[in-house]
Amino acid sequence: MEESADLLPGGYLAGEWVVGELIGVGGWSTVYAARPSGRTAGPDRPPEVALKVMPTAGLAPRQASRIVESAHREVELGRRTGHPRLIGLIESFVLSAPDRPSLDGAIVLVMERAALTLRELLDSGVPEADRGRLIEGICEGLAHLHRSGWVHADLKPENVLLGRDGSVKLSDFGLATELTGTHGYAQPLGTLDYLPPERWTAPLGAQGVQVRPSNDIWALGIIIHEVFASGASPFAGATPMARGAAVQEYGEGRAPLRMDHAVPPFWRDLAADCLAPTHEARAEHTADSLLDRIAAGRATRSRRSTWPHGGRARAVLLTLVLCATTGAALSSGAPRKDALPPVGALTVFNADRSCQDRSGRDPQCSLGLAIDPTRPYTPANVVPTRVWHGDVVTAECQLPDGLPIVDEDGLRSTRWFRVRLLSGSEPSAAWLPAVRTKDRPPLPNCPDPAAS
């Protein structure tokens, strides 16, 4: 394939990171997978990151300064408001690439790598059991941003990332605006489908347009509708401009809010409040107050629920979606180096010899960790975290009499090890069949998994 001068080739050394495959292209940036170079790899460096490369060469001075400002905002926000619901910024640097004039001097943000975007999940269908949790995660991210005095100002499904453990993380803070009092000013940019009615008529002053937290709440209302109504906006129209006209009609009181019947009553009420037509009416619905309502609604629903394994069902469904969308390829070192002292280190063994080369981490060679060692070892019964030959995982205990597993060499065992997953993972531990390791540390027996 011909190499583009505007793209970094695989293997390129950008700062201290080795560029991998292309992940995505935004309006002003290109995002690549990357890993630390041999020189810098170590326990304090994540084994896999995303590099957001924002070229400035050849741009008109105003465009270039816009990009510099946008990068500056992302760095500033990352530095001041880190939170598990915001994508982590690891470092930033200016790319020195004299051999590639179009990329020389580009600004590079090194971020924690996510598995997929909410847009991709909407396109493949959000599992019913995950919908509320996803919205709650977005709301937690917004509540943190707003409490820290920032407005995201470009909230949309492309900017909601999902970690490999299904965790929700807001990203792309290029338009994020710091509040001075009740509002801030931003460039008149953003994505038409997520702009509230007042933004369509907002006066453009020397500092830009006024933005307030209620802008993000409106976008959240659109996203709630999309999540429950198979990606559809509550405002009908074939193009973003047509849908924008419908938003303005509604904002001026000339049309009612029409939501899809697929949106359940609880979420319909919440979305309707987020989509209150004026800033004043919307302002009383803060991200914090919405979070309280979601928590209260969850408590009511779980009291009514007759299915005791809701948590497990959630994990399985999200696993399926992540597997389907990402091919279930996960980073090295996924099992954590835990805060608790390890009780048994296990080196993963893959009997398939073609999978014993550690360099590629081919998704085809990844091994699954079971959710329940007493149920069939199928894709529906594995967590999103994958392991490869040679990975070291931490086991807490063993189960001598789980479901029998036979490896590629015919070795059979009913023994399973319970291994810890990255902190924040749901579930927090999963099961490695004993045929997938040669180690037999003297571990205590685990409690009966059926009883937990």
Only segment of 20-28, 235-243, 360-368, 378-386 that touches ligand ATP (CB under 6 A): 20-28
Nearer to ligand ATP, 87 or 121 (CB): 87
For the bound state, the minimum distance from the C-beta of residue 98 to ligand ATP, rounded and expressed in Å, comes to 24
Q: Which of 158, 178, 288, 407 binds ligand ATP (CB under 6 A)?
A: 158
Q: Is position 337 annotated in a ligand binding site?
A: no
Cα distance between residue 71 and residue 37, in whole Å: 24
For the bound state, the minimum distance from the C-beta of residue 156 to ligand ATP, rounded and expressed in Å, comes to 8
Cα distance between residue 381 and residue 80, in whole Å: 39
Q: Give, as ranges, the residues between 41 and 80 that touch ligand ATP (CB under 6 A).
A: 50, 52
285 binding ligand ATP? (CB under 6 A)? no
82 binding ligand ATP? (CB under 6 A)? no
Nearer to ligand ATP, 83 or 312 (CB): 83
Residues contacting ligand ATP: total by CB under 6 A: 20
207-221 core/surface letters (b: 16 or more CB in 10 A; e: else): ebbbbbbbbbbbbbb
> For ligand ATP, which residue has the nearest CB?
26
Closest CA to 380 of 368, 392, 391: 368
Q: Which of 53, 67, 87, 383 binds ligand ATP (CB under 6 A)?
A: 87
154 given a catalytic annotation: yes
Give the three-class secondary structure for 297: helix
DSSP per position, 97-150: -TT-TTTTT-EEEEEEPPSEEHHHHHHH---HHHHHHHHHHHHHHHHHHHHTTE
Cis bond before residue 427 (omega within 30° of 0): yes
Residues with Cβ within 8 Å of 102's Cβ and at least 6 positions away in sequence, in order, are: 5, 6, 55, 57, 58
31 binding ligand ATP? (CB under 6 A)? yes
Output DSSP code: residue 205: B
219 binding ligand ATP? (CB under 6 A)? no
138 binding ligand ATP? (CB under 6 A)? no
Q: Which of 48, 172, 193, 372 binds ligand ATP (CB under 6 A)?
A: 172
Only segment of 167-175, 334-342, 363-371, 419-427 that touches ligand ATP (CB under 6 A): 167-175
Structure tokens that stand for 399 in this block: 């189960």
Compute CA distances 79 → 40, 54, 90, 142, 426, whole Å.
22, 19, 9, 17, 27
Active-site residue (options: 6, 44, 123, 154): 154
Cα distance between residue 286 and residue 292, in whole Å: 10
Q: Which of 14, 19, 110, 111 binds ligand ATP (CB under 6 A)?
A: 111
Active site residues: 154
Q: Which residues are annotated as a binding site for ATP?
A: 52
Where along the sequence are the contacts to ligand ATP (CB under 6 A)? Answer: 23-24, 26-29, 31, 50, 52, 87, 111, 113-114, 117, 158-159, 161, 171-172, 174
